[in-house]
Amino acid sequence: MKITIIIILFITLSSCNNRRDKINRQSNFDYSGVESYFRLIESISVNGTFSESEWIDFLNVEGNRLYIEENNIPEDYLDNIKENIIKVYASKNFDDNEDIVYKIRNSFRKNDSIYREHLKFLKNNEQILLDSMIARTIKFLPDHRLLNDSLPKLYYHALDHDGSANGKGIFISIMAAHQNNSRRLSNFESHEFFHIQRPDILEHVKIDSIDQGIIWALNAILDEGIADMVDKDVMLADNSDWWLKEMVNDFYVGKSKDVISNFNTLIIDETNGKHHSENDYREAFLGSVGHVPGYSMAKLITDKGKSREMIDNADDPFSFFILYNDIASENPEEYPHYDNVAMQYVKELANKYGK
């Protein structure tokens, strides 16, 4: 008995050690975007503004530079952020304003001490956050397994209120990190980590140019749909004083019926030889990548008790589409669905490219 316990303990400890060896904590976290922001606003508090060279230095720290490059943030949007930073921090009071860029800056100013505290919290809890991120994410991956052992670098910034993942790592606003972590640790990091770790049956498949648009679309709704199941539940469960709930209810859910109807029309066009581009589908999804209609589709599948089937096939965009439509078609009055012609076309694509 005692030997068994020692062996189990040894295996547990050695696997922890292995994991620690693989995770270089210092190189996995980058806070340069947030720290440089605090330097920038300190300059405003002293001088009432900041110089052009201070702004350029701010944009050029690694966390900001990569975030801007990887997300193709346009220059005029950065100028808009700059103007709003000066406007908000130079102001004596906390004016409210409907402009989203202004609202984000106002939140940064109002909650300055909270975000500074959160930065400290992240620095002191890197390992716990990584472990929590892995544990949450694997629940949404086929066989509950990571695709690979390599962990992305995590960059925290203060430029916006968003998160993204790509080949360079995960980029998260400290504002969004705080709002998520105060509800469930690593919540937003897990959403982004899911994108990186999700296997994709089409990764090494050559897609004919005429099919590239629709394949992008099918993959995008699966990718954002399931990723939204990772993090949105706790965010919607409370009445927090911010606008995510509004966005999900009004946009993700509110627009999903129309978007599914338009998507259906575009698929029927494909059956008639009119092939649409990735951009056409991006527009049809209202610039949401795949959140609309992916969130509503994944939510219905989950609510109907089929999440296990959805997750086991998280590598397969055709299965996701077919699974959703089978459920929605059972109650066509209540749920938006794709018609038989569209369904048949997706099944043909599955035969051509699927597993």
C-alpha closest to that of 155 among 232, 72, 70? 70
Strand pairing class (154-157; 163-166)? unpaired
Residue 191 Cβ vs Zn ion, minimum distance, rounded to whole Å: 6
Structure tokens at 169: 């790592």
Strand pairing class (154-157; 169-173)? parallel
Q: Does the protein bind Zn ion through residue 40 (CB under 5 A)?
A: no
Residue numbers 51-90 binding Zn ion by CB under 5 A: none
Looking at beta carbons only, is 217 or 227 nearer to Zn ion?
A: 227
Residue 32 Cβ vs Zn ion, minimum distance, rounded to whole Å: 23
Residue 287 Cβ vs Zn ion, minimum distance, rounded to whole Å: 14
Residue 289 Cβ vs Zn ion, minimum distance, rounded to whole Å: 7
Residue 151 Cβ vs Zn ion, minimum distance, rounded to whole Å: 18
Looking at beta carbons only, is 227 or 235 nearer to Zn ion?
A: 227
Residue 129 Cβ vs Zn ion, minimum distance, rounded to whole Å: 18
Q: Are 207 and 215 in contact (CB under 8 A)?
A: yes
Give the whole-angstrom CA distance, residue 50 versus residue 36: 12
Residue numbers 223-242 binding Zn ion by CB under 5 A: 224, 227
Q: Are 231 and 190 in contact (CB under 8 A)?
A: yes
Give the whole-angstrom CA distance, residue 280 versus residue 9: 55
Looking at beta carbons only, is 199 or 354 nearer to Zn ion?
A: 199
Looking at beta carbons only, is 224 or 316 nearer to Zn ion?
A: 224
Query: Applying CB under 5 A, which part among 13-21, 216-224, 294-302, 318-326 lies near Zn ion?
Result: 216-224
Q: Are 177 and 118 in contact (CB under 8 A)?
A: yes
The pair phi, psi for residue 169, each rounded to 5°, is 145, -160
Query: Applying CB under 5 A, which part among 101-109, 148-156, 220-228, 243-251 lies near Zn ion?
Result: 220-228
Structure tokens at 178: 């705080």
Residue nearest to Zn ion (CB): 227
Strand pairing class (163-166; 169-173)? antiparallel
C-alpha closest to that of 31 among 62, 72, 56, 7? 62
Query: Applying CB under 5 A, which part among 10-18, 115-123, 218-226, 305-313 lies near Zn ion?
Result: 218-226
Looking at beta carbons only, is 30 or 224 nearer to Zn ion?
A: 224
Per CB under 5 A, residues contacting Zn ion are 224, 227
